[in-house]
Amino acid sequence: MKRAVYLDHAATTPVHPRALEAMLPFFSQRYGNPSSVYSLAQEARQAVEESRVAVADILGCPARDIIFTSGGTESDNAALKGVAFAARESGNHIVTSAIEHHAVLETCRFLEKFGFEVTYLPVDECGLVRVEDVEKAITQSTILVSIMLANNEVGTIEPIAEIARVVKDKSKLVGSRVFLHTDAVQGAGALDLDVNELGVDLLTLSSHKFYGPKGVGILYVRRGTPFLPQQSGGAHERNRRAGTENVAGIVGAAAALKLAAERRQSNGQQCQSLRDRLIAGIQLKIKRAHLSGHPTIRLPNNASLCFEYVEGESILLNLDFAGVAASSGSACTSASLEPSHVLMAMGIPEELAHGSVRFTMGPDNTEEDVDYVLSIMPGIIEKLRAISPLTEAGES
């Protein structure tokens, strides 16, 4: 049998067997609509509310501040549009970074059509947002700052707690309340998600990134944050997100988040040692391979590399022939032809950015997996470089 090595945990993860087990009864047996009166439905209601408490425990917030959504994308949209449209009277300025996920960046573009102004902060060559840039960007008309907790492509971890302090201070100085959102989708299972430690008013999570089902998101909204719900309808989720609850999905997401939080330490260490083995091995065996992102302030499971003279997709296809799943830039939209906006923002030249490959580890990966990748990568790169017209020119 062909070996199967999954190294794309930043794109998505399998549902954890225990999360799936928790979900199963809610499809065909305990299928009541949580809004109904009778016992079958109240069981579903209870399952949703217990899930809310479980999530709130991990975020260190009251259960009432948790909204269940249909994914990270919806949570990002709801956070930005929700605050922007609700706080419109106070100002029309939003601050974000150039390396946010499309779910944040495209939402900003949407809001620009509605008269909002957005500052896209640059990052340094390691992908770090500069805290002083955030401070400088905030004006009297700023209502919202949205900076991600960790980047999905290069794994760089942003200084959210510091940013939170600066937002609070500058907010006082200019005399207007500025709210802080963080897209923590890539942080789940790796970083502390306590909203008070982070100092954020809104926080986004996506279930399928932490071994929960696809199509479930979490949005934390601190009490007192202006928020205009974007999905209108029934009185679900305390009037903040209409629509019949995805009961099985919510139960699965909460179970998975609990497991991920429990295993955070051990999992992080294991991933990090595999990641370091992979990076070291590649740099030893393959010339002109460059690690992107921050050397140390990065997610424990992220190894993002750029290979000169070759293009990412053709590397991925060859890896796939050998049973290895990896990604080039964001998995979110392979439909895009532009090189990753994240690598561009970090100042990586376009031709190098085209040769990016991202390996992201998970708890099921082993040293053998890494050694297998190390055994095939040099051949793949060599083969592609042999076809490439850039190789000679470059090496001469």
Partner 1 sequence: MYSDLVMEHFSNPRNVGAMPDADGVGSAGNPVCGDVMKLFIRVRDGRIEDARFQTFGCGAAIATSSMVTEMVKGKTLDEALDISNKAVAEALGGLPPTKMHCSNLAAEALHRAIEDYRSRAPA
Ligand X SMILES: Cc1ncc(COP(=O)(O)O)c(C=O)c1O
Residue 75 CA to residue 149 CA, distance in Å, equals 14
Asked whether the beta carbons of 217 and 202 are under 8 A apart, the reply is no
- In the bound state, the residue with its beta carbon closest to ligand X is 72
Which residue is listed with tokens 């964001």?
Answer: 330
Question: Choosing among a copy of itself, ligand X, partner 1, none, which partner's interface includes residue 1 (Cβ < 5 to 8 Å by kind)?
Answer: none
At its nearest, how many Å lie between partner 1 and the CB of residue 102?
A: 16
By the rule CB under 6 A, 206 interacts with ligand X? yes
Asked whether the beta carbons of 329 and 342 are under 8 A apart, the reply is yes
By the rule CB under 8 A, 6 interacts with a copy of itself? yes
By the rule CB under 8 A, 38 interacts with a copy of itself? yes
Closest to partner 1 by CB, 113 or 223: 223
Asked whether the beta carbons of 139 and 176 are under 8 A apart, the reply is no
Question: Choosing among ligand X, a copy of itself, partner 1, none, which partner's interface includes residue 213 (Cβ < 5 to 8 Å by kind)?
Answer: a copy of itself
At its nearest, how many Å lie between a copy of itself and the CB of residue 63?
A: 17
Residue 230 CA to residue 8 CA, distance in Å, equals 31
Q: What SS3 class is residue 121?
A: strand
Asked whether the beta carbons of 154 and 342 are under 8 A apart, the reply is yes
By the rule CB under 8 A, 3 interacts with a copy of itself? no
Q: Which of 28, 296, 389, 396 binds partner 1 (CB under 8 A)?
A: 389
Within residues 308-327, the interface with a copy of itself by CB under 8 A covers 313, 316-317, 319-320, 324-327
Q: How far is CA 392 from the centre of its chain?
A: 38
Report the candidate in 392, 303, 298, 312 with the shortest Cα–Cα distance to residue 353.
Answer: 312
- The neighbour count for residue 224, using CB atoms within 10 Å, is 10
Size of the site for partner 1 (CB under 8 A): 25
Residue 387 CA to residue 200 CA, distance in Å, equals 49
Question: Choosing among partner 1, ligand X, a copy of itself, none, which partner's interface includes residue 60 (Cβ < 5 to 8 Å by kind)?
Answer: none
By the rule CB under 8 A, 386 interacts with partner 1? yes
At its nearest, how many Å lie between a copy of itself and the CB of residue 296?
A: 28
By the rule CB under 8 A, 242 interacts with a copy of itself? yes
By the rule CB under 6 A, 244 interacts with ligand X? yes
In this structure, the dihedral spanned by the alpha carbons of residues 129, 133, 134 and 136, taken in order and rounded to 10 degrees, is 180
Q: Sort residue 324 into left (φ over 0), alpha (ψ -120 to 50) or beta.
A: beta
At its nearest, how many Å lie between a copy of itself and the CB of residue 60?
A: 27
By the rule CB under 8 A, 208 interacts with a copy of itself? yes
At its nearest, how many Å lie between ligand X and the CB of residue 209?
A: 6
By the rule CB under 6 A, 217 interacts with ligand X? yes
Question: Choosing among ligand X, a copy of itself, partner 1, none, which partner's interface includes residue 339 (Cβ < 5 to 8 Å by kind)?
Answer: partner 1
Q: Which of 57, 106, 192, 311 binds partner 1 (CB under 8 A)?
A: 311
Which residue is listed with tokens 């992201």?
Answer: 360
Closest to a copy of itself by CB, 152 or 166: 152
Q: What angle do CA 184, 185, 186 make, to 5 degrees?
A: 95
Asked whether the beta carbons of 145 and 120 are under 8 A apart, the reply is no
By the rule CB under 8 A, 154 interacts with a copy of itself? no
Annotation marks residue 306 as catalytic: no
Q: Which amino acid is at 103?
A: A
- The neighbour count for residue 382, using CB atoms within 10 Å, is 12
Q: Which amino acid is at 259?
A: L
Which position among 126, 271, 306, 332 bears the catalytic label? 332
Residue 159 DSSP class: -
Part of the chain binding ligand X (CB under 6 A), chosen from 122-130, 132-140, 178-186, 335-343: 178-186
Which tokens go with 311?
């293009």
Catalytic residues: 332
Q: Which spans of this chain sit near ligand X (rule: CB under 6 A)?
A: 71-73, 76, 101, 103, 148, 152, 183, 185-186, 206, 208, 217, 243-244, 332
